[in-house]
């Protein structure tokens, strides 16, 4: 409607200018008059000026409206100009309505930002954001309390706490997390995320101090370990002590003092031999248990390098070729993408995969389907997954977490240390080892690299 009125107004003014020009020219040349054409010429100038003012007025208002939006100044208001008549009342009204909407939207946005700031400042998790230049954008009270760094304005100030921590944070990719222990008793879990805001790239860090939880878990772990050690040691010491008492009784009852020494009955001698053999075997078992514990507690730091998953799988299957052939087990491999690489210690990961494939092979010995699937999947920034899958009897839900406890085993033979060591190796790689199992359907062990 406004546009229609504007068009009519411009058309009328142009028509009047054309009529005045035509009439003035006709009067000057046809009637040989000069006063009337002069007056008509002045009228044309007035009409042209008025038309220019008419057009520029709306342009000025539109420019002022756009400037208000660009500079976020929503205090402007638009009123009708009496010189322009009622043509642009609807334009002024529309401008004012849009400005009111912007005002309301801005007020709501400011309320939401204030609400978010209050939440960020009151949560227990430390929050830090910094841009590509390292300038700190947001840092909440929890982060300040954790780090205790005065005038924390640049991410490089993190080097005041630990240069190694600064280096790891800078190298941290979006979606990754690290665990870092600081000398002042902090044990931080730091997770990274990326976002774009205001045309800049920002990195968002979340920090949690897990020192208290670790101490609680450490105490529980020591209690569980004490139970395991007590159980194993008592299982060995009790029969040894009992046998020693029995052997002493045999010596007392079946031995006789002679001039040159002692004489022992044949039956008593055989009992002593059997008892000593039992003590020797049990002592050997106790030594093996201690050695297994030593292996679990002395895993070296991984020496990481980029390794082709295809070559890694080939090495594992090459080392186990004869064993798998003897067990009549078929291993199928799947790698997506084919040129997938993983950052790891190849020797340690090979040991994990051999252990998992061996366990899977043993679990399907009585199955018709003796197939093991060895899979690898690249997930970009989310890391890499390597899975060992079999369709054996599976693991009951109650045992799925216990199998990673040192010295716990569901097999008749074995120390129960293999999966515990495997999980610890993955923890040293800053990854994880998990299991999912549906009894009598399938079991999948998953190595997650981040």
CATH of the domain at 165: 3.30.450.20
Percent of the chain whose pLDDT exceeds 90? 8
The model's pLDDT over 95-106, given as tens digits with 9 standing for 90+, comes to 677 777 777 777
Dist CA 99 CA 358 (whole Å)? 72
> Does 117 reside within a domain?
no
- Which residues are within 8 A (CB) of 367 and not within 5 positions of it... i.e. 6 or more apart? 391, 392, 393
Same domain, 256 and 269: yes
Give the pLDDT confidence score for residue 87 in this predicted structure.
Answer: 53
Dist CA 161 CA 358 (whole Å)? 46
Same domain, 293 and 309: no
Q: What is the mean pLDDT of residues 88-95?
A: 65
CA dist 335 → 29, 123, 151, 343, 384 (Å): 95, 42, 49, 16, 11
Query: Which DSSP letter does residue 404 get?
Result: G
pLDDT tier, 126 (very low <50, low <70, confident <90, very high otherwise): confident
Q: What CATH number is associated with residue 413? A: 3.30.565.10
Q: Is the pLDDT of residue 1 over 50?
A: no
The model's pLDDT over 299-354, given as tens digits with 9 standing for 90+, comes to 778 888 999 999 999 888 888 887 888 888 899 999 998 999 999 988 889 888 98
pLDDT tier, 362 (very low <50, low <70, confident <90, very high otherwise): confident
Domain end among 152, 185, 209: 209
Same domain, 287 and 322: no
Which residue intervals of 71-152 are DSSP H helices? 89-122, 141-147
Q: Residue 228's domain spans which residues?
A: 213-297
CB atoms within 10 A of CB 401: 12
Same domain, 150 and 234: no
Same domain, 9 and 131: no
- Which residues are within 8 A (CB) of 28 and not within 5 positions of it... i.e. 6 or more apart? 34, 37
Domain end among 194, 209, 224: 209
Total of domains in the chain: 4
Domain end among 281, 297, 313: 297
For 49, counting Cβ atoms within 10 Å of its Cβ (0-12 exposed, 13-18 middle, 19+ buried), the class is: exposed
Mean pLDDT, the chain, rounded, equals: 77
Which residue intervals of 71-88 are DSSP H helices? none
Of residues 427, 361, 434, 443, the one with CA closest to residue 404 = 434
Q: Long-range contact list for 83-92, CB < 8 A, 24+ apart?
A: 83/53, 83/57, 84/54, 84/57, 87/2, 87/5, 87/6, 87/9, 88/2, 88/6, 88/57, 88/58, 88/61, 90/1, 90/2, 91/2, 91/58, 91/61, 92/61
pTM of the model: 0.45
The model's pLDDT over 216-226, given as tens digits with 9 standing for 90+, comes to 666 666 666 66
Give the pLDDT confidence score for residue 169 in this predicted structure.
Answer: 86
Give the pLDDT confidence score for residue 73 in this predicted structure.
Answer: 65
Strands 255-258 and 305-308: unpaired
Q: What is the DSSP string of 331-397?
A: EEEEEESTT-EEEE-HHHHHHHHHHHHHHHHHHTTT-S--EEEEEEEE-GGG-EEEEEEE-SS---G
């Amino acid at each position: 409607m406004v546009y229609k009125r504007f068009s009519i107004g411009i058309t009328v003014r142009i028509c009047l200018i054309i009529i005045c020009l035509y009439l003035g020219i006709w009067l000057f040349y046809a009637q040989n008059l000069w006063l009337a054409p002069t007056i008509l010429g002045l009228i044309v100038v007035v009409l042209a000026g008025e038309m220019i003012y008419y057009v520029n007025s709306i342009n000025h208002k539109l420019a002022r409206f756009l400037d208000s939006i660009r500079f976020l100044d929503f205090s402007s208001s638009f009123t009708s100009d009496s010189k322009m008549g009622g043509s642009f009342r609807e334009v002024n009204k529309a401008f004012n309505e849009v400005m009111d909407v912007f005002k309301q939207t801005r007020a709501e946005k400011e309320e939401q930002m204030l609400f978010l700031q209050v939440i960020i400042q009151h949560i227990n998790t430390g929050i830090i954001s910094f841009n590509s230049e390292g300038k700190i954008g947001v840092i909440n009270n929890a982060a300040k309390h954790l780090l205790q760094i005065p005038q924390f304005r640049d991410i490089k100030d993190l080097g005041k706490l630990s240069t190694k921590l600064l280096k790891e944070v800078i190298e941290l990719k979006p979606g990754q997390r690290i665990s870092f222990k600081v000398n002042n008793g902090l044990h931080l879990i730091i997770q990274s995320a990326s976002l774009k805001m205001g045309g800049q790239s920002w990195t968002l860090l979340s920090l949690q101090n897990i020192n208290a939880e670790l101490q609680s878990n450490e105490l529980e772990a020591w209690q569980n370990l004490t139970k395991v050690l007590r159980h194993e040691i008592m299982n060995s010491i009790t029969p040894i002590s009992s046998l020693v008492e029995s052997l002493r009784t045999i010596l007392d009852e079946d031995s006789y003092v002679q001039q040159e020494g002692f004489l022992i009955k044949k039956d008593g001698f055989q009992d002593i031999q059997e008892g000593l053999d039992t003590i020797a075997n049990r002592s050997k078992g106790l030594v093996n248990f201690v050695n297994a514990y030593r292996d679990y507690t002395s895993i070296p730091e991984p020496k990481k390098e980029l390794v082709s998953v295809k070559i890694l799988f080939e090495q594992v299957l090459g080392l186990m070729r004869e064993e798998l052939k003897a067990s009549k087990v078929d291993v199928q491999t799947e790698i997506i993408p084919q040129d997938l690489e993983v950052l790891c210690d190849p020797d340690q990961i090979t040991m994990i995969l051999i252990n998992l494939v061996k366990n899977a092979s043993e679990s399907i010995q009585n199955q018709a389907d003796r197939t093991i699937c060895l899979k690898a999947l690249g997930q970009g920034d989310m890391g890499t997954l390597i899975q060992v899958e079999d369709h054996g009897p599976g693991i009951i839900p109650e045992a799925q977490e216990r199998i990673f406890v040192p010295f716990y085993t569901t097999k008749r033979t074995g120390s129960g240390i293999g999966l515990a060591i495997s999980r610890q190796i993955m923890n040293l790689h800053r990854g994880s080892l998990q299991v999912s199992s549906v009894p009598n359907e399938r079991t999948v062990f998953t190595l997650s690299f981040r």
